[in-house]
């Protein structure tokens, strides 16, 4: 009976869909009347032609109204068929039958991204409720910081106590900082005996010692690595790998003469290196400040990935981003509440949500496009994936990584191969960043990569449990908000005017409503035109007695 029960359910919000469609009908009627009024005035009014009524204010306001109408029309696609989902991880097969998972965490600058916070994210990922031999955590240090390397070693030492403690007592908050700083933490309440409290106290002391050692190392600049010259000019850096779960430190080679493509480039390096070491079929990608808040997120994602009805076309399972440092007022909307409460639920009722850059479990083969067919020539594979024969072998379904689980490091040959995969020149004359892996054509690599996946026929789902599966740090000041908003807006509009414009490239490759949703995000930066027009023109016209609306 358990095998026949569904592992997830999809609930269509029929009442919301009906109300949304009725509202769209009424609103569109009003917009048509407004546009007709503007057009008829500009084309037929003799006062305008003779010059008694200035035409420029009318044109500017009309342009603002057209832009708002265009954006509003695209937005209605989100409200066409909103859905919610329920998952039943208890109906999954035994843990030993679940597939392996790789976890990717990227960091760059320890000054902007405090290394202690990054290590808490790393430790929380290692403490996921998953079989240790099937969990592999990869950290990309794009700044080549000796402090981050030192933090990795210290985090591993502390995790050797923290991970068994979490699994023994069923701790529900896998991040040590969040667990120990919580004033009302019910984790392990059923074990509140002398033995549990003593072990908790011991682990807490170890955590305080871990933080103290790290603060000391921070003041001393971490550990020295004489081969490093600067965060933008350094060779490949490697560290010992360890098991239970596997923890891998990767710092790719970066040279000023070679473009590094920021986060997308770092993730593609992790994709190649992990393919050689663990080659797990599923990957969890996290921002360095987005720690795991629930140890069962992997099981929830597997409820979808292991469903034979949707799994063949399912690329990724997206979880919402939640933040622990935002006040209830949230005056800058750092929590992006409308996106994760309305937009993604609407997308989920179509072909699936967009790729949000973090908090998602994705299928590895979704990154490889159509280049891993059984009958494809080896030379074509090399043209697409680069010169590494070992990595090309990893593309096969029967490939088994040869990394020893009882050793603490890679063999010399394997280490040389991973250094080749992480070199700055490896992607030259290949399809990486163009058709393979995360795409480089925009600074919003997550949006563009997810869009192309959907165009290739992949689908996605949105899973929003009541308890946040991941918690991160949101922006809390105007400067950071403007920097972040500028990056998003410029990247999205860059896609809008490129050959991948959702309204041109999308409709022939995906549903029209899904392409409308992508277009809404891409063209939303044009909103500034309406803001400026309505923030200036009507007030000036009022002061000068220029009519803009019917009496």
Active site positions, annotated: 142, 446
Residue found under tokens 């997830």: 8
Which tokens in the block code for residue 376?
A: 């494809």
Residue 113 annotated as binding? yes
Residue 65 annotated as binding? no
What distance lies between CA 29 and its chain's CA centroid?
38
Residue 294 annotated as binding? no
User: In residues, how long is the chain?
Assistant: 551
Cβ–Cβ < 8 Å for 145, 241: no
Cβ–Cβ < 8 Å for 254, 424: yes
| Residue 108: how many other CB atoms lie within 10 Å | 19
- Determine whether 110 is exposed, middle or buried from the number of CB atoms within 10 Å of its CB (0-12, 13-18, 19+): buried
SS3 state of residue 169? helix
Query: Of 96, 213, 83, whose CA–CA distance to 154 is shortest?
Result: 213
Buried b (16+ CB within 10 A) or exposed e, 166-178: bbebebbbbbbbb
Residue 248, strand partner residues: 138
- Determine whether 52 is exposed, middle or buried from the number of CB atoms within 10 Å of its CB (0-12, 13-18, 19+): exposed
Secondary structure percentages of the chain, helix, strand, coil, to 5: 50, 10, 35
Which tokens in the block code for residue 482?
A: 């403007």
Residue 177 annotated as binding? no
Residue 102 annotated as binding? no
Torsion angle, alpha carbons of 490, 232, 432, 462, to 10: -50
Query: Of 389, 109, 317, whose CA–CA distance to 231 is shortest?
Result: 109
What distances in angstroms separate CA 253 from CA 232, 258, 412, one per listed residue?
9, 10, 18
Which strands sit side by side in the sheet containing 459-462, from one edge to the other?
237-238, 246-251, 135-141, 101-107, 282-287, 360-363, 314-318, 459-462
Q: How far apart are the first and last CA of the chain?
A: 70
Q: Which residues contact 295 (CB under 8 A, 6 or more apart)?
A: 127, 128, 129, 166, 171, 172, 174
Helix (H) or strand (E) holding 10: strand 8-12
Cα–Cα distance between 399 and 88 in angstroms, integer?
31
What distances in angstroms separate CA 296 from CA 7, 465, 513, one per listed residue?
14, 11, 33
Residue 17, strand partner residues: none
Q: Which residues contact 146 (CB under 8 A, 6 or more apart)?
A: 221, 222, 223, 224, 225, 228
Cβ–Cβ < 8 Å for 469, 294: yes
Q: Which residue ranges make up the annotated binding site for UDP-alpha-D-glucose? A: 112-113, 142
Q: Which residue ranges make up the annotated binding site? A: 112-113, 142, 263, 287
Q: Which residue ranges make up the annotated binding site for Mn(2+)? A: 263, 287
């Amino acid at each position: 009976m358990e095998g026949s029960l569904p592992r997830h359910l999809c609930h269509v919000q029929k009442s919301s869909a009906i109300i949304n469609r009725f509202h769209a009908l009424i609103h569109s009627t009003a917009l048509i009347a407004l546009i007709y009024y503007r057009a008829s005035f500009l084309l037929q009014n003799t006062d305008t032609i003779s010059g008694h009524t200035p035409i420029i204010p009318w044109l500017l306001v009309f342009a603002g109204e057209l832009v708002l109408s265009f954006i509003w029309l695209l937005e209605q696609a989100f409200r066409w068929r909103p859905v919610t989902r329920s998952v039943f991880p208890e109906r999954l097969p035994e843990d030993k039958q679940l597939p392996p998972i790789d976890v990717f965490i990227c960091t760059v600058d320890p000054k902007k991204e405090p290394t202690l916070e990054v290590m808490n994210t790393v430790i929380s990922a290692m403490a996921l409720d998953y079989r240790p031999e099937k969990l592999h955590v990869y950290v990309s240090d794009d700044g080549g910081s000796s402090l981050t390397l030192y933090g990795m070693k210290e985090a591993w030492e502390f995790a050797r106590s923290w991970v068994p403690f979490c699994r023994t007592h069923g701790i529900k908050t896998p991040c040590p900082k969040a667990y120990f700083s919580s004033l009302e933490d019910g984790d392990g309440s059923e074990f509140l005996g002398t033995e549990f409290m003593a072990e908790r106290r011991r682990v807490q002391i170890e955590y305080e010692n871990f933080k103290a050692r790290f603060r000391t190392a921070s003041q001393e600049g971490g550990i020295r690595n004489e081969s490093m010259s600067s965060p933008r000019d350094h060779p490949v850096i490697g560290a010992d790998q360890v098991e239970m779960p596997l923890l891998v430190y990767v710092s790719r080679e970066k040279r000023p003469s070679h473009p590094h493509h920021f986060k997308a480039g770092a993730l593609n390096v992790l994709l190649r290196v992990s393919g050689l070491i663990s080659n797990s079929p599923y990957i969890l990608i996290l921002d360095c400040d987005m720690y795991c808040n629930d140890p069962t997120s992997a099981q929830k994602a597997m409820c979808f990935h292991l469903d034979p009805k949707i799994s063949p076309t399912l690329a990724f399972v997206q979880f919402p981003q939640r933040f622990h440092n935002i006040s209830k007022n949230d005056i800058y909307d750092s929590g992006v509440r409308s996106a994760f409460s309305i937009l993604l639920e609407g997308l989920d009722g179509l072909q699936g949500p967009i790729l949000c850059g973090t908090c998602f479990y994705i299928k590895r083969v979704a990154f490889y496009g159509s280049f891993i067919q059984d009958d494809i020539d080896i030379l074509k594979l090399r043209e697409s994936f680069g010169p590494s024969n070992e990595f090309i072998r990893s593309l096969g379904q029967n490939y088994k990584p040869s990394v020893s689980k009882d050793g603490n490091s890679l063999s010399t040959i394997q280490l040389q191969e991973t250094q080749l995969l992480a070199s700055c020149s490896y992607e030259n004359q290949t399809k990486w960043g163009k058709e393979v892996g995360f795409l480089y054509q925009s600074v919003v690599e997550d949006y563009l990569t997810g869009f192309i996946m959907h165009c290739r026929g992949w689908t996605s789902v949105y899973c929003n449990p009541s308890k946040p599966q991941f918690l991160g740090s949101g922006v809390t000041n105007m400067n950071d908000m403007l920097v972040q908003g500028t990056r998003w807006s410029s990247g999205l509009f860059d896609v809008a005017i490129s050959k991948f414009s959702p309204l041109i490239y999308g409709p022939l490759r995906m549903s029209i409503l899904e392409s409308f949703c992508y277009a809404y995000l891409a063209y939303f930066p044009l909103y500034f035109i309406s803001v400026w027009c309505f923030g200036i023109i009507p007030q000036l016209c009022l002061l000068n007695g220029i009519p803009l609306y019917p009496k």
